[in-house]
Structure 1
Amino acid sequence: MSSYPVRNALMRPLRRAAAERGETDRVNLRSGQVAAPAGATHAAECLATLVADADRAPGPTVTSPA
């Protein structure tokens, strides 16, 4: 994948179009600069980590669906 400035420039038209339509959930379409060190992991493991982190965070408790 290309460097951040190039990715940012490529995504600019999409962000602009989303902003013009009021699609705020699509305006900030940027990716981090250091994704490679995160490593590969299975989706289930990633989700379990996210839930565990959320459980430790202040605020409402995260529960699994029945």
Structure 2
Amino acid sequence: MKAVRGQGYDTDDTIVYEVLLNGKPALLLVREKDRTASIFWDEGIMVYKISGILSSEEAVKMAESLE
């Protein structure tokens, strides 16, 4: 059995990017309106998220530093 997960977001003002995080797939959501970014990735059964008032570059850099 494979688990499935999803993430809700405002489709009118959120840009979604599929990025590589240390060679692994991650999902980056950027909202220009309120200058927030969120990045999601998983390690086996654990799902991680970094989110806040930061640039997409800062979110990726923070996530990469945790691996």
Which is richer in strand? 2
Which is richer in helix? 1
Is the TM value for this pair above 0.5? no
TM-score computed with the length of structure 1 as normaliser: 0.23
TM-score computed with the length of structure 2 as normaliser: 0.23
